[in-house]
Each structure stands twice: as C-alpha cells, then as structure tokens.
Amino acid sequence: MVQPRVVPRNGEVDSSASEDSGIERAAKRADDESSDATITFRASVESGDRAGDVIKADGWELDNYRSNPVLLWAHRHDLLPVGKSVDLWIENGALMATIEFAPTEFAQQIHRLFKEGFLRGVSIGFRALKSSPRSRRNGSEHQRGTMFERQELLEISAAPVPMHPLALAAGRWLWPRAWG
C-alpha cells in the first residue's frame, strides 16, 4: 500500500502514516479532537469538480494562507471570518483542513449546522499560478475545464453547495446525526 504524504503546518513530511485511508484518518482525527470545537474537512480533492476543473494536490502553495488562515461564509470577503484553520495538510490527493469556529453568534450557528448535518460542504478561494485547459475529446466523452497545476490558497469557505461534490466535512460523527 502506498503511504499517504502528510504535510503538517510546519511543512515537514510525516512518514509515520498508518494503513488507514486519508479520509478514515481525517475522520478519526476529527472524532479524537475536541469535537465540540473543531471540524476536519476535505477542502479540495484532486478530481474533476462540477465545472470539470482539477486542482493538483501537490501544487498547493499554503504559506500565505497559513499566515491568515480564515474560514469565510460562502466566499463573503465583506463579512467577518466565521473560523480559522488550526491544521492544514495534503493527504491522498486532498487538501485537508481542521477548522475552529469563531465565538460569534453567526459562526456558532454555522458550526451547529455542520454538527447537526444540515451543512457539510466547503469551497476554496485560490489564485491560479500555473494552469492549462482540459478541454479535449476522450473517446465519446468531452472533457472540459482547467487543470490547475500550481495555485495559492486564499481562503476556505463554508458553502451550502460546494463546487466540488467531495469537498465535505470528514468526521464520522456526521453520519449518525445526518442519516440515522
């Protein structure tokens, strides 16, 4: 089995990865953490989104975001942040983030919506540094969109409908409340 590459906040690669998949590890991390205070998300996944765009996981530039690790509401730059990333890493083709929510009434309302399963999605704001078109024929299927090879993360947003359908909260605690 290929070992996942984990990049913690300090930028050093953690080679002590277990045999769990990245999503399982993120779920365990989310469950093990002070689950009342934080939620772990797959902020970006290296596969086609609803527009056909693909963002390469190994192309992320995260230093500037780590200096200002904001979680916004629906990409609303005109509102105060609703949280901050307390951990950020790349694992199994996904940009993962653990978010702590702000102590404001609005942020706590969003936090409750996530915890109760009414809200699951996140979306990213980024600046493309290197990209190429994906538009071409692949058999009978027409690929569209952009391949982002290098990009700078600007923000993560809580989003009712994320552009990537897999950019979701990763904690196992979601399923019993949301589906059971």
Q: Is residue 9 part of a domain?
A: no
Residue carrying structure tokens 């086609």: 48
Nearest-angstrom CA–CA distance, 11 and 178: 34
- The 10 Å CB-count burial string (b at 16+, else e) for 70-95 is bbbbeeeeeeebbbbbebbbbbbbbb
Tell whether pTM > 0.85. Answer: no
Closest CA to 172 of 2, 6, 39, 10: 39
Q: Is residue 1 part of a domain?
A: no
Q: What is the pLDDT of residues 76-121, one digit of tens each?
A: 999 999 999 999 999 999 999 999 999 999 999 999 999 999 999 9
Q: If DSSP codes are grouped into helix, strand and coil, which group holds residue 57?
A: helix
Q: Is residue 17 part of a domain?
A: no
In the chain, the amino acid numbered 41 is: F
Q: Is residue 95 part of a domain?
A: yes
Range of the domain at 171: 22-179
Number of domains the chain is built from: 1
Q: Is residue 10 part of a domain?
A: no
Q: Is residue 8 part of a domain?
A: no
Q: Is residue 11 part of a domain?
A: no
Closest CA to 167 of 135, 102, 119: 119
Q: Is residue 151 part of a domain?
A: yes
Q: What is the pLDDT of residues 123-154, one digit of tens each?
A: 999 999 999 999 766 666 677 899 999 999 99
